[in-house]
Copies of this chain bind each other. A is one copy, B any other.
Amino acid sequence: MTLKLSATEVTEFLSQVFPQVKNDFTIEALEEMRSSVRLNVGDRHLRPGGTVSGPAIFALADVAFYITLLGMIGREALTVTTNCAIDFMRKPAANADLIAESRVLKLGRSLAVGDVLIFSDGMTEPVARASLTYAIPPVRTSQP
């Protein structure tokens, strides 16, 4: 399986479908079945004390896996998260971006499954890990 979209094409697609978060994320790398995505941490992602909030970490995991899927299956805005199990393991470093390393473990016709490790930029021990399932809508073969 080869990539259907490049990092540039995925970035452009995301800025169309999710304009409100388009500046939050930067695709660092997009390869077959895996990607590396940066959360450009800003004040809106922080809790008092300067660490990134749980919902912002969840959002990064979700977007990172979605980006990897988009690379593999092409523009499918209707693809939706059905399940996420996330472990918060360490406090993120203050004043550091987060990096999500995601991979697809199964790319089926109706379900895609994968996982994500999240690091504070420059650190080797992960802040969080997540596994995700996305439902892929059936291909409409008979459209006019």
Contacts and interface: CB of A to CB of B under 8 A. Distances in A.
Interface in A43-92: 44, 47-48, 53-56, 58-59, 62, 80-90
B59 A133 contact: no
Interface residues of A, number: 38
State the number of copies, please: 4
Nearest to A66: B54
A85 B88 contact: no
A135 interface: yes
Interface in A89-133: 89-90, 105-106, 110-111, 113, 115, 117, 125-126, 129, 131, 133
Nearest to A55: B59
A47 B18 contact: yes
Contacts of A106: 87, 89-90, 125-126
Nearest to A43: B20
16 contacts: A18-B48, A19-B48, A54-B62, A54-B84, A55-B56, A55-B59, A55-B62, A58-B58, A82-B89, A82-B111, A84-B86, A85-B86, A87-B131, A89-B113, A90-B106, A115-B131
